[in-house]
Every structure is written in structure tokens, then in C-alpha cells.
Amino acid sequence: MPDNQARLDDITNTALEAFKAKHAVRERAIQASREVIRGSANAIRAIHRNELEQAKTQVAEVGALVAETRDLLKDHPDIYFTGYTQDAQKEYAEARCVYAFIAGEDTPTPQEIGIETPSYLNGLAEAASELRRYILDSLRRDDDSRSEELMRLMDDVYNVLVVMDFPDALTGGLRRTTDQLRAVLERTRGDLTMTTRQRRLERLLADHDAKP
């Protein structure tokens, strides 16, 4: 008679070892994803403080974590394509793109930074939205030297995203993110237009008052 108990014991032990190994990989991926999200947020804060060297270092550290996670999960696509990993990639893409926009560098591609296209495009949209904060902060410092340039960048990003007319299951909810960017873009354009007109009026009044 077959020894079913022995076979069941083997099945149990094999399954336990497989689950233990996968669990360990999953736990490390979750930890790394949290570190990526936190590091990306810190890099963006540094960019808004115009601490670009610090931001560059932080972005590089985050990029190493993203690459580590990708390598860790290369044999575990069921874990790789869960939400937390893709969310972390999106935050990294946002940080990379915000840095490129403000530092005046070429916009990185998803292939160059090693992430999936849906995560990249959603991160790109959020990076464009972050430019609103940079523009408004600059205007509060009476610095409008880059406002038009950054507005054009926001427009350019929106024009890329709006043609990605595919189901959310493929794009990771990109349509909603694009709609949010459009709203941010319109508000920013309105704020910039109002500020520009106000300053033009102030200059005209100052010139009038200066006349004898």
C-alpha cells in the first residue's frame, strides 16, 4: 500500500518552505517600498527648498532601492505586481521627474529608471502637479523668472497623458490622475495670470507716481 502519510508530510514540508521563502521576500519588498515612498517624499521636499544636491543624493538612494526590489521580485511576479510595489515606483518616478524639471535636466524615461510604464506615467502626472507649488512659492518670493517655462512643462506633460486613452486596468488609473492634473493646470494658469496682471498694474502705478 502507498505510504500516503509520508507523501502528505513531504507536501506539507515543501509547501511550508515555499511559503516561508515567499513571505520573507514579500516582507523585504514591503519594507523597501516604504523606504522608497519616504525617500521620494524627502527628495521632493528638498527640491522645494532648492536643496538640489541633497535631493539628487536622496533620489539616487531611492533608485537603488527600486532596483533592489525589482531584482528581489524577478521570480515573484505575483508580489511584484501588487499595489505597494507599483505605488513605490510611482513615487520614485515623481521624485525623479520633479528633480529633472527643476534642475533643468532631460525628463527620464521609464526604461532609464527601471520602472513599469503605468507607474511612471502616474508619477509623471504628479510631478507636473508639484510644479504648481514650485511656481507659487517662487511668486511669493517675487521671482517669476521660470514661471512660464514651468507652465509650458505642465502643459507638455498633460498633452502626453491625455492621449493615453486606455482602460484603467492597463494604466493604473491614469485617467483620474490626468483629470486631476488638468484641474491643477487650470488653477495655476489662473493664479499666474492674476499675479502677472497685478504686478503689471503695480509697475504702471509706480511709474505714474514717479513722474514729476
- Residue-wise pLDDT tens digits, 159-170: 999 999 999 999
CATH code of the domain in which 53 resides: 1.20.58.2140
Report the alpha-carbon distance of residue 94 to residue 62 in Å, rounded.
12
| Number of domains the chain contains | 2
Selection from 126, 186, 134 nearest residue 155 by Cα: 186
Q: Report pLDDT for 194.
A: 87
Cβ 174 vs Cβ 168: under 8 Å: yes
pLDDT digits (tens, 9 = 90+) for 142-200: 888 899 999 999 999 999 999 999 999 999 999 999 999 999 999 999 998 888 777 77
Instruction: Look up the domain containing 197 and give its range.
Output: 116-212
Both 13 and 82 in one domain: the answer is yes
CA 103 to CA 100: how far, in whole Å?
5
Q: What is the dihedral of CA 138, 142, 145, 149, to 10 degrees?
A: 40
31 and 121 share one domain: no
Question: Do 13 and 103 lie in a common domain?
Answer: yes
Whether 103 and 141 share a structural domain: no
Helices (H), the chain: 4-48, 52-72, 77-80, 83-103, 110-113, 117-140, 147-161, 168-171, 174-210
> Cα–Cα–Cα angle for 76, 79, 83, nearest 5°?
150
